[in-house]
Amino acid sequence: MAGGNQNQVAEDKTKTQGHSESTINNRLKYISLTVLVVQNASLILSIRYVRTLPGERFFTTSAVVMAEVFKVLACLLIILLQRRLNVKGTAAFLVDAIFVQYKDTLKLAGLSLIYTLQNNLQYVAISNLPAATFQVTYQLKILTTALFSVLMLKKTLTRVQWLSLLLLFVGVSIVQVQQGGNEAEHANQNYVSGLGAVVISCLSSGFAGVYFEKILKRSSASVWVRNVQLGIFGIALGMLALWWNDGAALSQRSFLSGYTTMVWCVIFNQAFGGLLVAVVVKYADNILKGFATSFSIIISTIMSIYLFAFHVDPLFAVGAGLVISAVCMYSLPKASPNLNSSSATMKDRTQMEAFQTKCATKQKGS
């Protein structure tokens, strides 16, 4: 019987540890999602603000590069701290992870290209669309993410979840069409360019997010190593985009021309957001991340009223209401079919497992 008691204690300890780990992961999931909402709203508003200020404008392509540099530096610092400030050991680890296992690193080259394109398109869209309009339209990435999740990760969505995605699409469409009619009157904005940038960004975001989730959850490499790998390609591709798009102007101005304190805040915020998304993908999933980001519409809209004199009319309120309803619907727990029969089956299974455990305990104690 002593052996049986020891096994029982070990099983109880394992269950307790598993429950504790699950609780910590859930807390990290919802904390990271909450921070993501605030970060996303503040980033959109701050980009819109710095892009509408008079005076010399900074190169958006250089801002994308600087954001990648800060992201890589932050990840390197985290890896160094995880290895208890062992510089030599950290350097050897990174050389092995990035260069020795180069095939694994090359898998992220295409993904980094998509992210670089997406970051540059974000500046184009926000420069031509109001912050709230961009936020609402950009939520179309939830639909693309859901579709790619089903196709690439073989995830299944319930009918309620599909209905919530439909409601979200309708809500986004109402707000986007209504606001599009109003903003088309502004001569200093190219609405078509802004809308096109958002649509392409949504498609790339859906694919890239799901592909990154697939890599993270099917690999032993940490999220910080993956971000270093992404950042290396991101810096190189960002410099190429800078030369391609602003090479002529760069010969007459400096790399950091037009940078102000607010611009640096935008860059830091963008770098922090890239790391935060990686944490959210690790502990949650891309669809849940997308719905959490939808809440930032409310924050962006409220702040846009005070910062940019944004006008909220009934159609915008209806569209936002549909988005919020979609969030609530998607968050509902999945219904358990045939609850009574399932309960009975579970009860029988529990009794059988108890009987088998009792027999095994007797055999070990004899």
Instruction: Output phi, psi for 14, to 5 deg.
Output: -65, -40
* Cα–Cα distance for residue pair 264/63, rounded to 1 Å: 9
| Residue 288, Cβ density class (10 Å: 0-12 exposed, 13-18 middle, ≥19 buried) | buried
Contact 235, 65 (CB under 8 A): yes
Instruction: Please name the residue that has the structure tokens 């398109």.
Output: 121
Mean pLDDT lowest among 44-58, 249-263, 326-340: 326-340
**Per-residue pLDDT tens for 25-73?**
667 667 777 787 788 788 888 888 888 888 788 999 999 999 999 999 9
Rg of the chain over all Cα atoms, to the nearest angstrom? 25
Maximal C-alpha separation, the chain: 89
Judged by average pLDDT, the poorest of 8-22, 160-174, 244-258 is 8-22
Q: How confident is the model at residue 24 (pLDDT cuts 50, 70, 90)?
A: low
Determine the Cα–Cα distance for residues 24 and 33; give it in Å rounded to an integer: 14
Q: What's the pLDDT at 336?
A: 52
> Is pTM beyond 0.95 here?
no
Torsion angle of alpha carbons 187, 188, 189, 192, nearest 10°? 50
Among 270, 134, 290, which Cα is nearest to 198's?
Answer: 134
Which residues make Cβ contacts (< 8 Å) with residue 67, sequence separation at least 6?
119, 267, 270, 271, 274
Joined together, the tokens standing for residue 3 give 């052996």
Q: Evaluate whether 204 touches 76 at the Cβ level (below 8 Å).
A: no
